[in-house]
Amino acid sequence: MPDKKSRHLRSQEWFDNVDDPGMTALYLERYLNFGLTRAELQSGKPIIGIAQTGSDLSPCNRHHLELAKRVRDGITAAGGLCFEFPVHPIQETGKRPTASLDRNLAYLGLVEVLYGYPLDGVVLTTGCDKTTPACLMAAATVNLPAIVLSGGPMLNGWFQGQRTGSGTIVWKARELLAAGEIDIDGYTDLIASSAPSVGHCNTMGTASTMNSLAEALGMSLPGCAAIPAPYRERGQMAYETGRRIVAMVHEDLKPSDILTRKAFENAIRVNSAIGGSTNAPIHLNAIARHIGVSLDNDDWERLGYAVPLLVNLQPAGKYLGEEYHRAGGVPAVVHELMGQGLIHEDALTVNGRGIGDNCRDRPVQDRDVILPFDAPMLPNAGFLNLKGNLFHSAIMKTSVIADGFRSRYLSNPDDPDAFEGRAIVFDGPEDYHLRIEDPALNVDETCILVIRGAGPIGYPGAAEVVNMQPPAALIKRGITGLPCLGDGRQSGTSGSPSILNASPEAAAMGGLALLRTGDRIRIDLRKREANVLIPDDELAARRAEIAGDGGYPYPEDQTPWQAIQRSMVSQLDAGMVLGPAVGFQRVAQT
């Protein structure tokens, strides 16, 4: 560990630069104007940024406005100075056309702040879905000492004695509304019951997934991810996180020391065990690309598919965030996986210890909530990576296939892992909503619902729309789910076994662009294949026809950022990153 006094801090180039005293004076001048003293700024104390993702526009992360006070206390107690600054808001439920359009924008903004200002380290305040990957991607690019403080899930939601979980209750409420069992007031009351306090989604949706994976990657202190937002431990964790980042700066412990291939492999296994969101491969592949670790959806299947589901949280299970925390959270899940040799125990974490050392003495506290590895909720909780003439990569979470679905589609004794269906093709979510009830489509239980034009280019940012509800007439007959396939994403709070994140998307002239309603699609889970049953020459003819018409059409740009991102974004399997940004790993090291 370098000597505290001797290590040259990056911030000293601004505030205490003996080679350029004139410039130093100019930098100092304005940062003194709100009461900081020259002695403080020239004391050699690490200057720590708090990357503030909370605001009135970002209710999932708004609690960080309070938590930052405790972070600040911790930074000060450890001998640091604190500069809090805003991160571009990303609110999953508020941003049109989709919050994921803004992940890369927040990333870019944060990179500029971390690189361009006098910061020696940063506390990343995370929570709502894309805030966590945006922050980690930026930390990976700039490679300054960085630590994640998640805001924590909301308290459990309740309605008439039942737990109501974020997002998950929406799918249920929609079914009840479509079936005429509740009206719109009942619908609103039911879904509002799932949000009883500050915090992010209390289910194992994308927020709890990504914060759990940030911890599994080693980027937050042990136990951080699961603490509910209003609990006292959350404020205490904020204080300890502030203390720790100061030490990390002294130790020069950087993201590139932590975000290694081993760390990503650990996170993939934890993702299966927690029943993590199908958004996780997109975001982890993106973080990996920005830190320079190779990772793809084949890795996700190879490392993660066979890991069982251990965590009994909605949408796959019963409980919510409070129980997850009391059962031991991420350290208990890691502990359980360590027992099977599935964790690289030497992977370094932000506290300077290996994840194995952090989790060895953290066994599961409640076996109803985190089940034993040898008696899990479900086997094979990871993702399959399907390929074929419709796409190079699309993932499927087979563990959420319900019994009714399985008996309808996967019960042929001669071919138990395959099914065929008639494609009903929609061009984007608006088209789906417009036409799904159209009797002329003749949708029945032998159909596969396909949505395209929903990927990173087609619906800029990629919409969470693949899990499409069948027409009301089918729901009334008890068929609440049809096989769904698409080039968009799916909410982590949905339990539907869709084939999603198809790459390349239709708007990039992937095979989905060639599909027509009425085509037959064959899915073979054993062979990891999804194909439209059409001869290659006919597909080539269709491709030529669409290309001749100028390619697969998609809506025009509504904002400058949509145009910029569309011009350079990679596909979902490659993390939906900005191509030119991938080459900039570790800029702060130079």
Q: Restricting to residues 331-370, name those near ligand FES by CB under 6 A.
A: none
Residues contacting ligand FES: total by CB under 6 A: 10
Asked whether the CA dihedral 11, 16, 20, 24 is positive or negative, the reply is positive
> What, of ligand FES, Mg ion, none, does residue 483 touch, CB below 5 to 8 Å by kind?
none
Binding segment (CB under 5 A) for Mg ion, from list 53-61, 123-131, 298-306, 391-399: 123-131
Residue with tokens 């009301």, as numbered in its chain? 472
| Min separation Cβ 201 and ligand FES, Å | 3
The DSSP call for residue 227 is: S
| Min separation Cβ 423 and ligand FES, Å | 31
Query: What three-state secondary structure class fits 354?
Result: strand
How do strand 484-486 and strand 383-386 relate by DSSP bridges? unpaired
| Min separation Cβ 189 and ligand FES, Å | 19
At a CB cut-off of 8 Å and minimum separation 6, what does 537 contact?
Answer: none
Question: Which CB sits closer to Mg ion, 200 or 254?
Answer: 200
Asked whether the CA dihedral 228, 230, 232, 238 is positive or negative, the reply is positive
Instruction: Read off the amino acid at residue 553.
Output: P
Question: Which CB sits closer to ligand FES, 207 or 465?
Answer: 207
* C-alpha–C-alpha distance, residues 165 and 343, integer Å: 30
Q: Restricting to residues 103-162, name those near ligand FES by CB under 6 A.
A: 128-129
Q: Count other Cβ atoms within 10 Å, centred on residue 20.
A: 12
Q: State in Å, rounded, how far the first CA of the chain is from the last one.
A: 20
Instruction: Read off the amino acid at residue 377.
Output: M
| Min separation Cβ 129 and ligand FES, Å | 6
| Min separation Cβ 231 and ligand FES, Å | 17
* C-alpha–C-alpha distance, residues 268 and 285, integer Å: 10
| Min separation Cβ 234 and ligand FES, Å | 15
* C-alpha–C-alpha distance, residues 331 and 387, integer Å: 35
Question: Which CB sits closer to ligand FES, 143 or 202?
Answer: 202
Residue 452: phi and psi, rounded to 5, are -135, 175
**Looking at the DSSP assignment, which residues form a beta bridge with residue 354?**
348
When binding is defined by CB under 6 A, the residue of 15, 54, 92, 528 that contacts ligand FES is 92
Q: Restricting to residues 201-220, name those near Mg ion by CB under 5 A.
A: 206
When binding is defined by CB under 5 A, the residue of 58, 349, 491, 496 that contacts Mg ion is 491
Question: Which CB sits closer to ligand FES, 58 or 393?
Answer: 58
> What, of ligand FES, Mg ion, none, does residue 207 touch, CB below 5 to 8 Å by kind?
ligand FES
Buried b (16+ CB within 10 A) or exposed e, 378-413: bebbbbbbbbbbbbbbbbbbbbbbeeebeebbbeee
Strands in 484-486's sheet, in edge-to-edge order, are: 383-386, 393-397, 499-503, 484-486, 447-452, 418-427, 520-524, 529-532
Tell me the per-residue interface mask from 416 to 455 with ligand FES, x by CB under 6 A, - otherwise: ----------------------------------------
> What, of Mg ion, ligand FES, none, does residue 102 touch, CB below 5 to 8 Å by kind?
none
When binding is defined by CB under 6 A, the residue of 100, 104, 156, 166 that contacts ligand FES is 166
> What, of ligand FES, Mg ion, none, does residue 120 touch, CB below 5 to 8 Å by kind?
none
Question: Which CB sits closer to ligand FES, 60 or 381?
Answer: 60
Question: Which CB sits closer to Mg ion, 358 or 467?
Answer: 467
| Min separation Cβ 240 and ligand FES, Å | 23
At a CB cut-off of 8 Å and minimum separation 6, what does 314 contact?
Answer: 163, 165, 168, 203, 204, 320, 493
> What, of ligand FES, Mg ion, none, does residue 55 touch, CB below 5 to 8 Å by kind?
none
Query: What three-state secondary structure class fits 256?
Result: helix
Contact criterion met (CB below 8 Å) for 508 and 452: no
Binding segment (CB under 5 A) for Mg ion, from list 25-33, 128-136, 536-544, 548-556: 128-136
Question: Which CB sits closer to ligand FES, 46 or 59?
Answer: 59
CA angle 398, 400, 403 (to 5 degrees): 100
* C-alpha–C-alpha distance, residues 419 and 424, integer Å: 15
> What, of Mg ion, ligand FES, none, does residue 491 touch, CB below 5 to 8 Å by kind?
Mg ion
Kindly state whether residue 100 participates in binding Mg ion, applying the rule CB under 5 A: no
Buried b (16+ CB within 10 A) or exposed e, 144-165: bbbbbbbbbbbbbbeeeeebbb
> What, of ligand FES, Mg ion, none, does residue 333 touch, CB below 5 to 8 Å by kind?
none
Query: What three-state secondary structure class fits 255?
Result: helix
Q: Restricting to residues 206-245, name those near ligand FES by CB under 6 A.
A: 207
* C-alpha–C-alpha distance, residues 298 and 302, integer Å: 6
Instruction: Read off the amino acid at residue 55.
Output: S
| Min separation Cβ 491 and Mg ion, Å | 4
Tell me the per-residue interface mask from 168 to 207 with ligand FES, x by CB under 6 A, - otherwise: --------------------------------xx---x-x
When binding is defined by CB under 6 A, the residue of 47, 48, 50, 60 that contacts ligand FES is 60
| Min separation Cβ 429 and Mg ion, Å | 14
Helix, strand, coil: what percent of the chain each, to 5?
40, 15, 45
CA angle 181, 94, 508 (to 5 degrees): 100
> What, of ligand FES, Mg ion, none, does residue 323 touch, CB below 5 to 8 Å by kind?
none
- Nearest CA to 317 among 283, 247, 355, 366? 366
Contact criterion met (CB below 8 Å) for 20 and 270: no
| Min separation Cβ 419 and ligand FES, Å | 32
| Min separation Cβ 168 and Mg ion, Å | 11
| Min separation Cβ 237 and ligand FES, Å | 18
| Min separation Cβ 103 and ligand FES, Å | 13
Give me the residues that bind ligand FES (CB under 6 A), please: 60, 92-93, 128-129, 166, 200-201, 205, 207
Give me the residues that bind Mg ion (CB under 5 A), please: 92, 129, 206, 491
